[in-house]
């Protein structure tokens, strides 16, 4: 099948730095100062974003209240969604009372500020039947908390396991099993990845986050990012493909390369996408409103063979791992 039109969703988790990073550097927020340039670049290339704005129990991670002007600018260049970490400060809490209260408070904050808040992403990509059910009760239309094949246990004990989901294709999840298709209401829009990979070791977690996801290549090597995106797109099971990229504001800060170089790479990536026939940028809301997918009710999410890494992929993985790439320091992937 010849690849047809596809959409690219630029998504951002906008949040404070993790406590260990704050302790070592004294910086609570990193990257917010670069956002005006990022927004300007996106506007020039006609690329909207979906901005998942954090609002937690911790007042320092209530971004819309601490950065109202930047949040408004983000809404002007796409869609503002909700981002919640399920921790009471440093203690993990995934009980029903805390999950529902946290999401309700975050939703009320954003909606009281004039943002529809119809899209959600869990901190650390956490998702559960309780959370999905509550999101539907609050009128959410999309979720993007699932990374196919991903499994991790955080240092504080939070466990995230998406290994039951093998396809990157959007689907309507069952309330009792968010990784299985067959429900209705909220559209799950998974992050793009090679679903084959699911490793528990720290080394292969790096491999997943930096090589399988296109997002982290965009600012380092836009040509490789485009190549990876095209490969995922060419293996898509339907004509209506969606590529979901995720980043944080701090990703634009200097590490192995300067902020200026990252902004140039970002612009080059956006321009390259605009040159691909049939490609377009979309927010989570855009994907939901225009979603035309196969009948999900009778489909098992594991009924397609997973994408496989080639020898060339592994060679590039080794090359990239030799670069002095800074590890993420926020509490989300």
What are 184-213's pLDDT values in tens digits?
Answer: 889 999 988 643 333 334 444 433 433 345
Predicted local confidence at residue 217, as pLDDT: 79
What's the pLDDT at 238?
A: 64
Tokens of 223: 């040509």
In whole angstroms, what is the distance from residue 162 CA to residue 234 CA? Answer: 23
Per the listing, tokens 């720290």 go with 202
Specify the pLDDT at position 182.
Answer: 86
Residues 6+ apart with CB under 8 A from 142: 81, 118, 119, 120, 186, 187, 188, 189, 284, 285, 287, 288
Contacts of 219 (CB under 8 A, 6+ apart): 247, 251, 252, 257, 262, 265, 266
Please give the DSSP secondary-structure letter assigned to residue 232.
Answer: H
Q: Which residues of the chain have pLDDT under 70?
A: 1-3, 19-21, 23-25, 193-215, 236-239, 292-333
Q: What is the pLDDT of residue 207?
A: 39
Distance CA(333)–CA(318), nearest Å, equals: 21
Residues in the chain: 333
Q: What is the pLDDT of residue 24?
A: 65
Classified as helix, coil or strand, 102 is: helix
Tokens of 20: 């260990």
* CA pair distance 132, 135, nearest whole angstrom: 5
Helix or strand run (H / E) with residue 329: none
| 43-62 pLDDT per residue, tens | 999 999 999 999 998 888 99
Q: In 45-88, where does DSSP find H-type helix? A: 63-66, 68-76
Identify which of 247, 241, 236, 253 has the alpha carbon closest to the alpha carbon of residue 270.
247
d(CA 311, CA 289): 39
Domains and CATH numbers, the chain: 6-322 (3.20.20.370)
Beta bridge partners of 241: 6
Using the Cα atoms of residue 40, residue 42, residue 47 and residue 49 in order, give the sign of their dihedral.
negative
pLDDT at 20 (0 to 100): 63
């Amino acid at each position: 099948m010849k690849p047809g039109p596809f959409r690219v969703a630029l998504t951002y988790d906008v949040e404070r730095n993790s406590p260990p990073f704050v302790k070592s550097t004294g910086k609570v927020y990193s990257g917010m100062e670069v956002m005006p340039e990022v927004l300007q670049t996106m506007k020039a290339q006609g690329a909207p974003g979906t901005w998942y704005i954090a609002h937690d129990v911790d007042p320092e991670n209530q971004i819309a209240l601490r950065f109202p002007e930047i949040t408004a600018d983000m809404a002007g260049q796409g869609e503002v969604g909700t981002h919640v970490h399920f921790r009471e400060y440093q203690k993990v809490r995934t009980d029903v009372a805390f999950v529902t209260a946290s999401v309700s408070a975050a939703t009320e904050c954003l909606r009281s500020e004039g943002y529809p808040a119809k899209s959600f992403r869990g901190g650390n990509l956490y998702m559960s039947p309780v959370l999905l059910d509550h999101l539907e009760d609050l009128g959410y239309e999309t979720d993007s908390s699932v990374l196919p094949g991903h499994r991790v246990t955080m240092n504080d004990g939070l466990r995230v396991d998406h290994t039951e989901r093998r396809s990157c294709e959007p689907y309507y999840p069952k309330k009792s099993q968010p990784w299985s298709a067959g429900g209705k209401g909220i559209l799950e829009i998974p992050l793009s990845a090679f679903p084959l990979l699911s490793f528990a070791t720290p080394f292969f977690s790096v491999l997943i986050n930096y090589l399988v996801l296109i997002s982290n290549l965009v600012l380092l090597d836009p040509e490789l990012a485009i190549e990876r995106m095209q490969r995922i797109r060419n293996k898509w099971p339907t004509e209506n493909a969606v590529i979901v990229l995720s980043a944080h504001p701090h990703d634009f800060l200097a590490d192995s390369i300067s902020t200026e170089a990252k902004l140039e790479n970002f612009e080059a990536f956006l321009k390259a996408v605009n040159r691909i026939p049939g490609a377009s940028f979309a927010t989570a809301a855009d994907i939901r409103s225009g979603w035309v997918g196969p009948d999900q009710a009778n489909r098992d999410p594991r009924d397609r063979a997973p994408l496989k890494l080639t020898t060339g992929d592994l060679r590039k993985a080794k090359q990239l791992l030799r670069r002095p790439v800074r590890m993420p320091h926020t509490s989300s992937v």
